[in-house]
Amino acid sequence: MIVRTLPRLAFVVAICFVLLTGFGGRAQAADRLLVSHDSVTGLDGYAGVLAWDQGITTSDGNLVGYRIAVWQHGRVRVAGRRFSAPVGPDVGTDRRGRLVLVYALCGPTTCGIVMRDVVTGRERRLRMPGEHAKCRDGLRSSASSPSISHGRIAYLLSPCRGPDRVMLRLASGANRTLARVLDHGGVGSTDIAGSHVVFSEKDSFEPVIGFDVGSKILLVDTRGRRVRVIGHAYNDGMSSDAVRSPVLAAGSAYFLEAADDGDARSSESLHRIPLQGFPRVRLCDYTQGYGVDSLAVTAGHRYYITNDNQSILEDTTPTPTARRCRPPYAVGIPR
């Protein structure tokens, strides 16, 4: 009786092992490694082209600076210019349809926006209204966190007085204010596509609840300048949640949600919200199952930088039928 039971027991143990190890590592096993490096951060993509900040390290592993790297047609090209900190390159097109990067270049007192031609490598400084004004504290107003699409640039303007503003520079050169950022907050990144701009707002204080909200993802329709919260995460001191890396692609807004309950368990979810039908339609694609630093969606593919900032992966996992998520925190809040 014992002899007959052993094969069955071995079969059950094998099945349990597959269930415990195979499914837990499904997302990792299905990903394709594009880049492996000592330090990568700030991923962005457009039309099948990726760009990021790539660290410069010494022989003993010390990080001493960054350069912009571009992945195109399966090859990586690293620009020669060196930066002391990540500049957050964003890929898009100028008003003539040329493939370009925009990034924020910061000095001791201010930040400004630079445009770089991906093909020729030529750069030029963009002058934004309101930047470089002298402030009483010795600093200057600055422009940062840019994103470009068909010559239209969304960016963050930090004036000498008052709250920061999310701005839109049209291809004609005219500027419009899209949203005012809460005094307690700051903008992590922006993305622009079509008539929409999406941005992340962090460290916002909610006076009704009495603690830091943590982070929000906000969507702006530039035609009516209506601001909507499409994602939120709370930090109540016992758990630490965050939403980040907002991306606009293929008629949807994407962002990452990381949840950590403080008990050595964490999860990473990719949210996708169709721009048509929101807020009635809100979808969660799936859980990644491992930490992700930043996200890019382009040409129907999803790319990630892992939390150790050493790998760029292409997610080749077929996306299952998306499920509906919980409703957003607020819709149409005044700004």
Instruction: Specify the pLDDT at position 318.
Output: 65
Residue 22 DSSP symbol: I
Instruction: Specify the pLDDT at position 275.
Output: 86
The answer to the question of residue 5 being in a domain is: no
Mean pLDDT of 262-286: 66
Q: What is the mean pLDDT of the chain?
A: 79
Instruction: Specify the pLDDT at position 294.
Output: 86
Write out the two tokens for 161: 């007085």
Instruction: Specify the pLDDT at position 162.
Output: 84
Instruction: Give the CATH number, domain containing residue 177.
Output: 2.120.10.30
Instruction: Specify the pLDDT at position 17.
Output: 40
The yes-or-no verdict on residue 215 having pLDDT over 80 is yes
3-state secondary structure of 225: coil
CB 230 within 8 A of CB 253: yes
Mean pLDDT of 183-205: 81
The answer to the question of residue 235 being in a domain is: yes
Write out the two tokens for 88: 């957050």
The answer to the question of residue 288 being in a domain is: yes
Strands 292-298 and 301-306: antiparallel
The answer to the question of residue 20 being in a domain is: no
Element (H, E) at 227: strand 226-233
Instruction: Specify the pLDDT at position 322.
Output: 55
CA 291 – CA 310 distance, rounded (Å): 12
Number of domains in the chain: 1
Nearest to 230 by CA among 244, 210, 249, 241: 244
Write out the two tokens for 77: 């090209």
**HEC profile of 138-194:** CCECEEEEEEEECCEEEEEEECCCCCCEEEEECCCCCEEEEEECCCCCEEEEEEEEC
Mean pLDDT of 55-79: 94
The answer to the question of residue 301 being in a domain is: yes
**What helix, strand, coil percent values describe the chain, rounded to 5?**
10, 55, 40
Residue type for 240, please? S
Nearest to 270 by CA among 240, 298, 250, 294: 294
CA 180 – CA 92 distance, rounded (Å): 24
What are the pLDDT digits (tens) for 95-151? Answer: 999 999 999 999 888 899 999 999 999 999 998 887 878 888 778 899 999 999 999
The yes-or-no verdict on residue 23 having pLDDT over 60 is no
Nearest to 129 by CA among 85, 177, 90, 97: 177
Residue 202: pLDDT band by 50, 70, 90 thresholds? Answer: confident
Instruction: Specify the pLDDT at position 264.
Output: 43
The answer to the question of residue 67 being in a domain is: yes
Residue 1: pLDDT band by 50, 70, 90 thresholds? Answer: very low
The yes-or-no verdict on residue 4 having pLDDT over 50 is no
* Phi and psi torsions of 179, nearest 5°: -160, 150
pLDDT higher at 114 or 293? 114
Residue type for 215, please? S
CB 260 within 8 A of CB 266: yes
Peptide bond into 334 cis (omega under 30): no
Percent of the chain's residues with pLDDT above 70: 72
Instruction: Specify the pLDDT at position 149.
Output: 96
The answer to the question of residue 96 being in a domain is: yes
Instruction: Specify the pLDDT at position 284.
Output: 61
Instruction: Specify the pLDDT at position 212.
Output: 55
The answer to the question of residue 329 being in a domain is: no
What are the pLDDT digits (tens) for 232-251? Answer: 877 665 555 778 899 999 88
The yes-or-no verdict on residue 10 having pLDDT over 70 is no
Q: The tokens 């909507």 sit on which residue?
A: 228
Cβ atoms within 10 Å of 246's Cβ, excluding its own: 27
Q: Which domain holds residue 204?
A: 31-324
Instruction: Give bridge partners of residue 76 from the DSSP assignment.
Output: 71
Distances (CA, A) of 208 to 205, 240, 334: 9, 19, 16
State the DSSP string of 102-152: EEEEE-SS-EEEEEEETTT--EEEEPPTTTT-B-TTS-B-EEEEEEEETTE
CB 52 within 8 A of CB 44: yes
Residue 201: pLDDT band by 50, 70, 90 thresholds? Answer: confident
Instruction: Specify the pLDDT at position 238.
Output: 55
What is the chain's alpha carbon radius of gyration, rounded to the nearest angstrom? 22
Instruction: Specify the pLDDT at position 168.
Output: 94
Instruction: Specify the pLDDT at position 27.
Output: 41
